Structure 1
Amino acid sequence: MGLFMSFMGKGGPNPSSQMISLVMGTLYGRFIEKDIQNFQDFHIAVLDIFNTFNSALPGKHFDVPPRSDIEACYTQWKDAPGLKKRKVFVNFITEYVNLNKLDDYTVLTGIVTPPAAMAVKKVGENVPQLKIIKAIPDVVFVPSATVLALISAKLSRRIFLKNLNP
């Protein structure tokens, strides 16, 4: 993971220009293999690159740039002559390959939820209407509650941020 970030020039000691050229050449070769006739093809190719990053590298993932930035890159790339197209693509990738960062709310939810789920399960076992909760093993209940809490925290955070920044 750190090696890839070093290749991209995003932390750690900067790699040699030959190494960056090798990585970018491979990415561009994969990108240019696709038959790009319009913006949709270009957008799909960029999404494929980010999907490849995220599926190949364990752990942290990379955010896909906004559609407007991809459109701006497409217009630059489309208008550029032969050899300049590669430079436009390389500049776009090095600028927009950013790590997906967890916010504090997600981390806090992940820490607080398991003990809270155990407490809720213990209380729920004593409620007559929730006697069925005894049948669910702790090994299933706690991770399920944690995953649901993380999903709801992530979704509510996105909805809240979207309402603040329309």
Structure 2
Amino acid sequence: MGQVLDRLQGKQWRREQIRKITDKVFDHFKNETGTATLRFEDVYIGVLLVYNDINKRLPGPHFDPPSKDSIRLLIQEHDINLDGEIDREEFAKLIKQITADAFCVVSQGLIVTLVAAPTIAMATKKATEGVPHVGKVVQRVPTSVYASLVTLLVVLVQHARQEF
């Protein structure tokens, strides 16, 4: 339940996740080339790796990375010192810009889950009244506890589905 609450913190959680992913990718290329900047090819491969991590780690649909042409434009836009290469901070800002839509979709999915799940819980609690043995047990559980349990179950099912 703590992980779900961490994800609900919003912008700070998103920033931390983006920074972890971008630092990991940047360090990968830094260790291979030995330089503190990335060229276009490395940036493009880095973007692909970032989108791969996003698709593996974050709940929601599959997100396609931007095209090579749009990456070239973004590099020109984010290359502050105009050397044709991207440093760590420029790379982090570039990734933050291109992943903003993905994080909005993820946030909306979490909101829908946390609003829809309690509503479903109330409907199922009412529907179980006629079920022998189960109905009596469900009716004895306080509504707030039952709604929390169903919400937690929905989040766990979504998380398990993403791991496959």
TM-score tier by shorter-chain length is: 0.3 to 0.5
Structure with larger RCO (C-alpha < 8 A, sep 6+): 2
Larger Rg: 1
TM-score, structure 2 length as denominator?
0.40
TM-score (norm 1): 0.39
